[in-house]
Amino acid sequence: MDFIKKLLQTNQERGRASIQMTVESDFNLPDYEPDMIKLIDRKGAARIRETRVDTDQIMVDGVLQFQALYKCAESGNICSLQGEVPFSETIHMEGVQETDHIIVQNHMEDLTLGMINSRKLNVRALLELSVADHMEQQIQLPAGIEDTSVQTLYRQQKMLQLMTQKKDICRIHSEILLPSNRPNINRLLWQSVQLRGLDSRIRSGEIELTGELLVNILYKGEDDERQIQCMETTVALHENIECNVCEPEMLFKLIPLQVQLEVSPAEDEDGENRVLMLEGMLDFYLRVWKEEELEALEDAYSLQDELLLERERVNLQSLLVKNDSKFKIADQILLENQPAEILQLCASVGEVFIEDSRIVPDGIEAEGVLKVRMLYITASDEMPVGIAEGVIPFTRQIEAEKIRPEDTYELSAGIDQLTVILADNSQADIKAVIGLDAIVFRKEDTDLITGMERQPEDLEQYEKQPGIAGYIVKEGDRLWDIAKEHHTTVEDVIQMNQLSGDQVNRGDKLLIVKQMSVPAGI
């Protein structure tokens, strides 16, 4: 028997895995860098360069990039250096296949730089690698039967049709001019570029990204090499990502995987180092769905033959809710053991991390931390630059009405705003706006009809059924089931009982006449 089928493309998370790993190596200073006396600050990030998928395992290759700020032996100036340490890791994940879409994200929980001697550093980082296996699946949805003699029952259901999914790169380029009251750049010592308030909107043929890039630099000026300059500025982010299938009414999820942004000094038209070139890229994973009201065949029977229905258990996915929420954090961080008076705050770097999340009644509860790191200039000639850091925990519930334990969700966090004010030399006031983006998918396990087989009617059973019967509707009865059981059609029951539609209530009394259109010989 020929079916009318509709192809449903889905993308469902088949599994997750995460591991903690330690990256450690000794690093020798390049010959052109001066000797170290004391380390002041450090920062770093892990970059995933390649992901290879094999049966039941995922191989990840990357590098740990780090930057160190230190007091150097040469005239006691502040110096900096950069380096990287390669790493490889294998993550075992049962069921993963080469054709699956694998999403790898990393979080650096801790970075430690230690002086072995004046020319050698020990670099040690604790990384967490998180892997999600997104399986693409094509479902042949039974949408009808070409044989008009067969009685059919359909159900309407909202489903998500996957339009596209891809990993891609958004390249970012901008130029920043130094203010006129700032000296030319002799050497860039320290830099920080943070992405704040990232927002994405779907348009016809594209995804629009907006946000703000907060740029902090520490440098030596040409007029006085011992004088350290610091500057903070913002650059508006406005980029468009091409997406041919995108339309405004569609649903999408854009996950930033890696953000790599750097600034470097360049000459202006007069040949002076007064320009900062901001270059970088945003690695992301994009999925786009179309929410459709689809009609699927739920049941069928025939008055001439007995139909044997073949069914297959599948998981259908629909959208429950997409909730982008923001909340505020306000707290204080103690500045302990400061060697000198703090004159100026140079940079405030923040990172938000979700440590745990769970489904609760009508929502998702997330626990996380906001890590804040401050770089400042002091009144001490001996140590003109200092650092302070702190961690602020938070718990937040995101609304998701009618969420069930078996539903699935994806949760991401980012910093929209971060303000650090030095109250005095012993504490800093922290105010932040955190964005939490949640998307919840309703999982519906259902039996789809995949085939039918005709076989002769059971004549003995047919003859046992009365030609005319009275029936009292019970709780939960559907007119379809009543008609099927009594070898008739819904239309005939409606006509015989002068009903206004196919809805019946408990206690209703029906007169049912058995249909006689059976094979010859009865």
Question: Rounded to a whole number, what is the distance in angstroms from the first to the last CA of the chain?
Answer: 25
| Rounded CA separation 308/369 (Å) | 57
Burial per residue of 419-436, b for 16 or more beta-carbon CB atoms within 10 angstroms, e otherwise: ebebeeeebbebebbbbb
Question: Contacts for 422-425 with beta carbons within 8 Å, 24 or more apart?
Answer: 422/335, 422/342, 422/345, 422/376, 423/332, 425/335, 425/338, 425/341, 425/342
Give the pLDDT of residue 224: 65
Give the pLDDT of residue 342: 86
Name the DSSP class of 245. T
Q: Does position 153 have pLDDT exceeding 60, yes or no?
A: yes
| 445 compared with 430, residue with greater pLDDT | 430
Query: Among candidates 133, 42, 34, 137, which has minimal Cα distance to 93?
Result: 133
| Rounded CA separation 520/522 (Å) | 6
Q: Does position 282 have pLDDT exceeding 60, yes or no?
A: yes
Q: Does position 304 have pLDDT exceeding 90, yes or no?
A: no
Over the stretch 342-379, which tens digit does the pLDDT of each residue have? 888 888 999 999 999 999 999 999 999 999 999 988 88
| Rounded CA separation 150/142 (Å) | 14
Q: Does position 442 have pLDDT exceeding 50, yes or no?
A: yes
pTM of the model: 0.86
What is the bridge-based pairing of β-strands 509-513 and 468-472?
antiparallel
Over the stretch 484-498, which tens digit does the pLDDT of each residue have? 988 899 999 999 999
Over the stretch 393-423, which tens digit does the pLDDT of each residue have? 999 999 999 999 999 999 999 999 999 998 8
Give the pLDDT of residue 336: 77
- Paired with 369 in beta bridges are 353, 393
Q: Does position 309 have pLDDT exceeding 80, yes or no?
A: yes
Give the pLDDT of residue 1: 56
Average pLDDT score over residue span 268-292: 94
Give the pLDDT of residue 462: 67
Average pLDDT score over residue span 148-176: 91
- Paired with 448 in beta bridges are 312
Average pLDDT score over residue span 258-265: 92
Mean model confidence pLDDT for the chain = 90
Q: Does position 254 have pLDDT exceeding 70, yes or no?
A: yes
Q: Does position 197 have pLDDT exceeding 50, yes or no?
A: yes
Give the pLDDT of residue 305: 85
The percent of residues above 90 in pLDDT, for the chain, comes to 62
| Rounded CA separation 281/86 (Å) | 20
Q: Does position 251 have pLDDT exceeding 60, yes or no?
A: yes
Give the pLDDT of residue 522: 43
Name the DSSP class of 496. H
pLDDT band at 225 (very low <50, low <70, confident <90, very high): low
Output the six-digit token pair for 431. Answer: 């105010």
Name the DSSP class of 473. P
pLDDT band at 520 (very low <50, low <70, confident <90, very high): very low
pLDDT band at 521 (very low <50, low <70, confident <90, very high): very low
Give the pLDDT of residue 184: 92
Q: In what order do the strands lie in the sheet with 385-399?
A: 342-360, 363-378, 385-399
